[in-house]
Chains A and B, each alone.
Chain A
């Protein structure tokens, strides 16, 4: 059954634009920081808010982007994606903020109860947020197919049947998409 896909259109920048942003970040004009902020500030801020709480998150987010700008010559788009690099800086800033203020118990009002934050949990959160972000970066159709694979645990054949796409297309598109996710994950863990 060849029902047309009814999937959510992309809300974010397309991958090509993000790649272009990464490539120009080190030597681009000052407004490239604004582009980077537009693209990645919610990722960085959410990571900070969930790690150090809403009070400190604003300051830490600022520190991350100021440091990234000062040290942008150290970013190499050939080695990793900007999102992963920024999250890496944020991870350092978060641990530093926690250490400096001896603030390991975070009372995040968006959560039901206070929870303990450890370096490991900060790292795990970073990994999950980068993964979710990377998935959002995939072309919308690839993302939809992968979502069916992990969310509904459908096989290639079932997805092919569901979407009306040829089995070979489903297989190769999911494989390419997952490879891309893996690359981004590996890079952000450097």
Chain B
């Protein structure tokens, strides 16, 4: 019994100890009531497959935005954009749209962006913003579709307070659409996602010319 050859390693003992710590309840799994699956099936069936495969609808919105044709069509071009960005051909068995570092992420909040109601912005611009929980913390993914800056200008992504009393620049619009959140920043304090067009005037302040805007659910 004291023969080292026949005893457990330290790592094994550790794991055996956590197994021993399991409570009797932990072994007893209960099945959910049957209507739980019925609700899932209804939600899935009412969402077209192509839409279901893609992120960017707020989690809270799942129950409220079923089967919206408008949402479905915006997903479709998102799919095109994503497949270009990721250089992955969707539909031929791709496992993930993004590389390994980005796998197993969860969208924890999302909103649609639009130019509606923004002074001076062209009508009908659309985008999506998603907050993504990754192993390294939260990121925000802003999809601006095929929006490109006008000549002599660049696009900048911002997070803004609900009362517009403050804003944080996430930087120039990036091709991959992914932005790290400044450490310690509470997204709930800056829920407005804004994409502006900025002149190369050296002035770091928001130009006031927003092209897309949306509000992340709190």
Contacts and interface: CB of A to CB of B under 8 A. Distances in A.
> Do chains A and B stick together as partners?
yes
Interface of A: 26-27, 30, 33-34, 37, 41-46, 49-50, 57-58, 61-63, 65-67, 69-80, 85, 88-89, 92-93, 96, 127-129, 131-133, 135, 146, 149-151, 153, 155-158, 167, 171, 174-175, 178, 181-182, 185, 190
Interface string B1-18: 101001110011001111
B19 A131 contact: yes
B26 interface: yes
Given A46-B29, A63-B59, A190 B40 contact: no
Contacts of B22: 128, 131-132
Interface in B36-76: 36-37, 39-40, 43-44, 47, 49, 52-55, 57, 59, 62
B54 to A, nearest CB: 7
A26 B95 contact: yes
Contacts of A182: 11, 15
A70 B29 contact: no
A41 B38 CA distance: 13
A128 B21 contact: yes
B71 to A, nearest CB: 11
Nearest to B31: A42
B186 interface: no
A70 B54 contact: yes
Interface string B92-112: 011111001001111110000
15 contacts: A46-B29, A62-B43, A69-B44, A72-B53, A74-B96, A74-B103, A75-B96, A75-B103, A76-B104, A131-B19, A150-B16, A150-B17, A151-B20, A155-B1, A190-B135
